Amino acid sequence: MIDTLIQGILLGGYYAVIACGLSFMFSVMRIINLAHGSLAVAAAYGLWLLASRFGISPFAGLLIVLPAMAAIGWLLQRYLLERSARGGALLPILTTFGLAIVIDNLMFEQFGADTRSLAPFIGSLSYDSWELPGGIYVGKLAVMTMATAIALLGGLQLFLSRFALGRAIRATAEDPDTAGLVGIDARKANALAAAIAMVTVGIAGAFLAMRATFDPYSGGPQLLFAFEAAVIGGAGSLWGTLIGGIVLGLAQSLGAKVHPQGFLIGGHVVFLAVLFARLFLVGTPIIGRIGFTKTGFAKIRAAIRSTP
């Protein structure tokens, strides 16, 4: 049982990584990005191409793929998401849904239906493990994924609370009109947030490709896991995303312990239980914003006091 719990917690680290960008993007721009999983798979293909054709290590390839993902996020926000948001709350969702279909089919046309993996390009990291007391083994890659999730979420939290650009993003998330009155460019803040979100998506794609196989249509399941982890933890709370990922990972691991088909069922049951509890019992928002401790114009001023 202890081994199952440990493996579930480590699996939750992966879910936290893939849910991070989805939660962050919704918190700032109020957009549920249904192309989230497809973009992660696209990043995985980018790393695979660099490794298979040019012999570039996946870790070195991140130095190329992550800036490219940031640029894609910036462009998507400026030329697609921002314009679709003017048509109401539903249009951006439909836009990202259509974008996901386009990305999936383009990848299928280019790469076919064969599954790929970065495991052959990372050596023994894909299967090495450490032995703990009691004959428990933990995979090195799983531990690295959890450490990355903590570092990523902690870094984003530090950025939002300590840096001027981060405070500008928080102010824009709270009230873009009021933030504009004190000199914040809401368009730039949203574009920067989208770029940051896409960087986290690129990291998620890297771990997806290293820990498992992927194909052009792997984005759907990754989006589902990301959404479930974000809702369980409360999207808009970065550390809540980590908790949601761990809860989802534990539910799936314990479900698999009960029945071979319980891996996915266990996660879905916990997700639905949390969803209905928030809707009907607790009455708290399913998804929130990255908020402040105060309200009003003075709060925005305090948040961006040191913003140039």
Q: What is the mean pLDDT of residues 278-300?
A: 51
Closest CA to 206 of 32, 101, 64, 74: 64
DSSP string, the chain: -HHHHHHHHHHHHHHHHHHHHHHHHHHHH----TTHHHHHHHHHHHHHHHHHHH---HHHHHHHHHHHHHHHHHHHIIIIIHHHHTT-SHHHHHHHHHHHHHHHHHHHHHH-S--B-SGGGSGGGGT-EEEETTTEEEEHHHHHHHHHHHHHHHHHHHHHHHSHHHHHHHHHHH-HHHHHHTT--HHHHHHHHHHHHHHHHHHHHHHHHHHS-B-TT-HHHHHHHHHHHHHHH-BT-HHHHHHHHHHHHHHHHHHHHH-TTHHHHHHHHHHHHHHHIIIIII---SB-----SS-SHHHHHHHTTT--
What is the pLDDT, as a whole number, of residue 297?
41
- Checking if the pLDDT of 6 tops 80, the result is yes
Instruction: List, in sequence order, every residue forming a beta bridge with 116; answer none if it has no partner.
Output: 214
Q: Which residue type occupies 86?
A: R
Q: What is the mean pLDDT of residues 102-117?
A: 94
CA–CA separation, 202 and 65 (whole Å):
7
What is the pLDDT, as a whole number, of residue 115?
94
pLDDT digits (tens, 9 = 90+) for 50-103: 999 999 999 999 999 999 999 999 999 988 888 888 887 788 899 999 999 999
- Checking if the pLDDT of 40 tops 80, the result is yes
Measured in whole angstroms, the distance separating CA 243 from the mean position of its chain's CA atoms is 13
- Checking if the pLDDT of 278 tops 90, the result is no
% of the chain surpassing 70 pLDDT: 91
What is the pLDDT, as a whole number, of residue 198?
96
Q: What token pair was written down for 157?
A: 């939290």
What is the pLDDT, as a whole number, of residue 235?
61
Please list, in sequence order, all residues whose beta carbon lies within 8 angstroms of the beta carbon of residue 26, skipping any fewer than 6 positions away: 32, 33, 230, 235, 236, 287
Look over the chain and give the mean of its residue pLDDT values, rounded to a whole number. 85
What is the pLDDT, as a whole number, of residue 282?
59
- Checking if the pLDDT of 47 tops 60, the result is yes
CATH of 2-303, one of 1.10.10, 1.10.3470, 1.20.1300, 1.10.287: 1.10.3470
What is the pLDDT, as a whole number, of residue 283?
54
Q: What is the mean pLDDT of residues 234-242?
A: 79
- Checking if the pLDDT of 289 tops 50, the result is no
Closest CA to 165 of 290, 20, 24, 306: 306
